[in-house]
Structure formats: structure tokens, C-alpha cells
Chain A
Amino acid sequence: MKEFGYTIIKQRTIDYDQFNGRLLNEILLMEPSFKVCLSCGGCTATCSAGDLVNFNIRRMNLLLRRGETAELESEIQKCMLCGKCMLVCPRGINLRNVIMLIKKNISRNKTTKY
């Protein structure tokens, strides 16, 4: 590979056409309450983990909807599943179930051949 002292810069635009909605659709099918998130951040405000480490439970929705599965997988490990987010959620989302489903489905999708 020849070095020119500069590189071809990768586009950072969200390329929505590359988005494979399978994981998202699986989660929404099993926990439809997750559809109604309005991104208010009440969950993150009260999160016992997000207060201490760089973890933002509200962003799980965005990562899922933009197909950022790798980041989603590593971020979700930081959740302590205490459930305080569910106490404050103004849309009554069963967030603990969402987290468990994401974990399960990411690992299942890795091992299952379709």
C-alpha cells in the first residue's frame, strides 16, 4: 500500500439505506411499549449507572434505530437492571425487558444462521 501522507476519509453520515431493521423489529414485536419513547431523558436522569459511568439508557433507542449494533452491544453491558428508569418513564416503557431482549437477540442473531 502506497503512503501519500493523506487518506480517503470515511463518510460519517448515517447511511440509512445500510440499516438492517431486523433487530429493531424483533425488539418492537416483543416489547411494543418501546415504540413510544419520546426521548425525554427521565430514564437517564435517574439512572444509577449513568450517574457514574458513560452510559445513557435513552440513547439505546437511537442506537437500535440507527443500526449501531456494535455500540449498542457494548453500551448495554453497563446497565445494572435496577429498574429506576421504569419508575419515571412518562410513557410507561418496560425498559428492563427492552434491555434483556436486546441482549438476548444480539447474541442469538450472532449464532443463528438464517
Chain B
Amino acid sequence: MKKEGKIQVWQDYQKEIASDHYFYVRSCIRQNFFPGSEQTFLKILREELNRDIYENPHHTTCSGIGYHSDVVPFDTIQTIVARQFALMTEAGYKNLAVSCITSFGIYNEIIETWKEFPAELEKVRSLLKKATGREFEVPENVAHASDIIYKFKEDIAGKKKFSLINQLTGKPLKIVEHIGCHYSKMFPCKGVGGAEFPHVLVGMIESWGGEVIDYPERRHCCGFGFRQYLVMSNRGYSLSNSRKKFESMEPYKPDAILCNCPGCPMFLDRWQYVIEEMEGKTYGENGHGIPVVTYEELAGLVLGYNPWDMGMQMHQTNVEPLLDKLGITYDPKLKYARKDGKMIGSPMMVGCGC
């Protein structure tokens, strides 16, 4: 693999990422899957980077999952998106920071639609006005939250308490990155590094001392795919797609999988447990799974945040092998403890070397 070739591609796909004053829109599913990630993002932006980031409790789902599953019509989703923009306009913000990859794709798709078909924009303005009395401006800058962490990766590196170095061997941790499909496969120019060789997560891993693993099925979907998962009888598609990726990355012995999408870490995490139950196979070392982390969690770990405060006990594939390699000390007894010391209960279904 020639690094220079990748650097050329990365230079070809650089995007404008606003540097401050963000209007944050959350994902509707992440808070259940990886409950501390978004909170960690806000903490990093506000406390580490001194940036202004605002969120409005009235914002809703973008309805992207419904749209991609054919139950929400295009006019409806456009109007819902317009309402989010109205909240942003009312709060005086112009830079949208999107937590979810599906939403990021939706916002880009709709803004591009309005550029190509201005009549749609006018129609949506009137629909929103009639329905809610609100008015809106189209955001000046749309960034995915991982773009923002990418932008400040060196600032984070400057404050790091831990490097992505295996403390047991002294070598860089080998990390596989997985980019959500809707990040740049629809609009390559909207993603840092484009669609084939995205740089957004690679940049973080390298800045924080790790080594990136490029494996043959890197570009393949994690398997979420709304139609593949939402209907139970289709879930074999989802599982099989994830499995294809695990099989392909296995020879490289990765220490962790890093994701920037709500769905991908969920499926890459949970399906490892299912595969172990179904086939008895695990993909990590010593019968463990490969820990799957979000970029906010990884940034948090690098900055020395407590993994249990970031909700990392909610991962089905245990993250302890990664914490051990990073040299992070943690109290196993506090894994399922609340801040007040009471236990939250431990999971009934455990897998991947638990």
C-alpha cells in the first residue's frame, strides 16, 4: 500500500468545516446504543476546545430511518428537516453539527435537492409555515460531528493523557476504521477524504498515535442497512454482511474497530456476540471479540475520561482488552455502578469472552 497515493486522494477531498458556533442535532438511536458518546462530544467541545455548541430540546428525529424504509414520504422529511433548520435559525446559528450519519446524508440530500430544484425549497417553506408558523434559513455549513473532531484532532492530541500505543508491547495499536455509508458514498465531496479512502477517522487514529489497518472489505457496509435489519426475516443479510467484514479484517489482528455512524458500531458490536453464539467463533485475541468504539469514546479515552462515565459498559463486546492495552486503569467492580454507587444491573446476554 502506498501512503503517497492516499495522501493525494485526501488532498482532493477536503471540505469546509466550521470552526465554532455549532447547532447540534442528536441521533435518535445513539443514546440507546452508546449512551455516553454524544455527551462526551459536547464535553470535549465545550470543556477541552472552548467551543460554543448549542442544542435545542425541541429538535426531533430527522425521520431518515422512516424515509429510507419507505414509510415517510419525501415531502414529509423535507418539512421535518426544515423545522430543524427553523430551530437553528431562531437560535441564531448557521453551522449545523450532525451526530448521525443517516441524518448527515439526509441533510445533504435535501440541501442538494433544494439547490437543484429551487421550487422544492419554496414548497417546503410554505409547508412549514402552514404547519408550524416557522421560517428558516438553509445552514451555511453542514458538518458531521466526526468532521469536527477531525478538525480539532491535533488540539486533542495536544491534551492527550493516553496514546494509541499498546502499553504491553510499545507498538502502535492496530485500528480498523469503518465509515458509515451515508457519510460520503452519496456525496463523495461532503466527506473528508471522499468515498473510497475517507480520511476522517484515519486522521484521528494517526494523530493519536495508532496505526490504521486497511483490509479488503473496508469499504463494505457494516450490515445495518435499514431494510436489512428492520424486518426480522431480513436480518440474515445484516449479520452476513458484518461477518464478511470480520472475516476480512481477522488476519490483521486489529485491536479495535472505530466507527463514525450510529448503526455501524451497534451492529459490529452486537453481531460479534451473535456469531459467537451461532458459530462459536470470536475474532479478537484469546477468545475475546474485537472492541468496537465510537470516535467520541476514543477521543474521550485519549483525553483520559473514565470509560464507565462514557457508557462503555453498554458494549456487548467487552472493551476491557482495549483499555488494558491503552494502559487505562479502571475498577471492574464499578463497571455496572451508577454515579451514586448503586448498581444498574449487569447484562443477561454476554458474549465475546465475557
Direct contact between A and B in the complex (CB less than 8 angstroms)? yes
Is B236 within 8 A of A80, CB to CB?
Answer: no
B228 within 8 A of A: yes
A-B pair count, CB < 8 Å, reads 30
Majority DSSP secondary structure for residues of A touching B: loop
The answer to whether A48 and B237 touch (CB under 8 A), given A80-B225, A82-B181, is yes
User: Do B181 and A52 touch across chains, with their CB atoms under 8 A apart?
Assistant: no
Interface size class of A (residues with CB under 8 A): 10 to 19
Is B227 interfacial (CB 8 A cutoff)?
Answer: yes
Question: Considering the complex, which residues of chain A in the window 6-56 have a beta carbon less than 8 Å from any beta carbon of chain B?
Answer: 48-49, 51-53
Mask for B204-240, Cβ within 8 A of A = 1, else 0?
0000000000000000110001011000001011001
Option from A51, A52, A81, A87 in Cβ contact (under 8 Å) with B227:
A81
Q: How many residues of B contact A (CB 8 A)?
A: 16
Given contacts A48-B221, A48-B225, contact A80 B185 (CB under 8 A): no
The residue in chain B whose Cβ has the minimal distance to the Cβ of A100 is: B70
What's the dominant secondary structure at chain B's contact region? helix
B99 within 8 A of A: no
Contact B185 A48 (CB under 8 A): no
CA distance A49 to B240 in the complex (A): 10
* Known contacts A48-B241, A87-B185, A87-B195, A82 near B236 by CB under 8 Å: no
- Whether the pair B240, A52 counts as a contact (CB closer than 8 A) is yes
Q: Is the CB of A82 within 8 A of B225?
A: yes
- Among A49, A83, A84, A87, which residue has its beta carbon within 8 angstroms of that of B237? A49
Report which A residues bind B (CB closer than 8 A).
48-49, 51-53, 80-84, 87
